[in-house]
Amino acid sequence: MAKRRITDLLQMKAASEKIAMLTCYEAGFAKEMKKAGIDAILVGDSLGMVVQGHGSTLPVTLEEMIYHTENIVRSHPDAFIVVDLPFGSYEGSCEEAFRAASALMKAGAEMVKLEGGAGMAKITAFLTARGIPVCGHVGLLPQSVHLIGGYRVQGRDLQVAAQLIEDARAHQSAGAQLMVVECVPEEVGEALSIALDIPVIGIGAGALTDGQVLVMHDMLGVRGDVVPRFVKNFLASSAEKGDPSIEGAFKNYVTEVKMGVFPGKEHLF
């Protein structure tokens, strides 16, 4: 696979080719993703839950994000690598955000992701003006789980959905080049992908976004506790097709995302 850059993701949106992204935090799995042709990796702060066993992403530190970023850069440098700014490392001021984001870029991140609406767009503008590519994240914001009262679907209400699209637009105008939208009805994911020029990657946002991302542990069926409705166990489905390997699960995910087979009707809100 040729090295994927943000320009490739933009071209994929223009050509209506779906982008296949997964979270990843360590070398062995990243190497399997390389064999499977995963376009983009998100070193997500979800590692706080699936790797460290916390109940939320809030405890994850910048140092931990740097460590996991380095693991991925060493093992699948061909993927486009997006890294989460962890809770508490960027919200306070633009300068604080720059310090955290530049540390992630030095570790090998090619883009940093931050959660929040239009109020956070000034941070996007500050970072992009200083050469740091930014991915926005709207919809369900896991770092605000205690503010919103749990992991709930967002944007069912028309007004909230319209605000969500305005929030994403504000980040795009501020220079964001990619957008993640989490846990919204399919119509909202579709409307967002139409409204934005930049690629929109959905998680629990229906089949009509420009690409998909899942938490790797969820799609391998190893999370153990509650499995969200939008998740498919690709290790189990690949085994049913005769290939019970991790590489097979990742390959099936890439194929189903590219063909628009995943997510199916049963995964929608």
Q: Which residues are annotated as a binding site for 3-methyl-2-oxobutanoate?
A: 45-46, 84, 113
- Per-residue binding string, ligand KIV, 180-209, x by CB under 6 A, is x-x--------------------x------
Three state DSSP letters for 142-200: HHHHHHHCCCCCCCCCHHHHHHHHHHHHHHHHHCCCEEEEECCCHHHHHHHHHHCCCCE
Q: Are 105 and 31 in contact (CB under 8 A)?
A: no
The distance from CA 169 to its chain's CA centroid, rounded to whole angstroms, is: 18
Q: Which residue numbers belong to the known binding site?
A: 45-46, 84, 113, 115
Closest CA to 203 of 213, 193, 191, 211: 213
CA angle 65, 114, 3 (to 5 degrees): 65
Q: Binder to ligand KIV among 32, 84, 210, 218 (CB under 6 A)?
A: 84
Residues 195 and 179: their CA atoms lie apart, in Å, by 12
141 lines the binding site for ligand KIV (CB under 6 A): no
* Beta-bridge partners for 84: 113
- Per-residue binding string, ligand KIV, 45-64, x by CB under 6 A, is xx------------------
Render the burial of 162-191: b for 16+ CB within 10 Å, e for the rest: ebbbebbbbbbebbbbbbbbbbbbbbbbbb
Structure tokens at 12: 């994929």
124 lines the binding site for ligand KIV (CB under 6 A): no
Residues 235 and 143: their CA atoms lie apart, in Å, by 28
Q: Which is nearer to ligand KIV, 108 or 243 (CB)?
A: 108
110 lines the binding site for ligand KIV (CB under 6 A): no
Q: Which is nearer to ligand KIV, 118 or 145 (CB)?
A: 145
Which residue among the candidates 32, 110, 182, 186 is catalytic per the annotation?
182
Residues 4 and 120: their CA atoms lie apart, in Å, by 27
Amino acid at 182: E
Active site residue 182: yes
44 lines the binding site for ligand KIV (CB under 6 A): yes
Q: Which is nearer to ligand KIV, 50 or 170 (CB)?
A: 50
Q: Which residue numbers belong to the known binding site for Mg(2+)?
A: 45, 84, 115
Span near ligand KIV by CB under 6 A; candidates 43-51, 124-132, 187-195, 247-255: 43-51
CB of 56 to ligand KIV, least distance (A): 11
212 lines the binding site for ligand KIV (CB under 6 A): no
CB of 62 to ligand KIV, least distance (A): 14
Q: Binder to ligand KIV among 22, 23, 202, 209 (CB under 6 A)?
A: 23
Residues 30 and 92: their CA atoms lie apart, in Å, by 32
List residues near ligand KIV by CB under 6 A. 23, 42, 44-46, 84, 180, 182, 203, 213, 215
Active site residues: 182
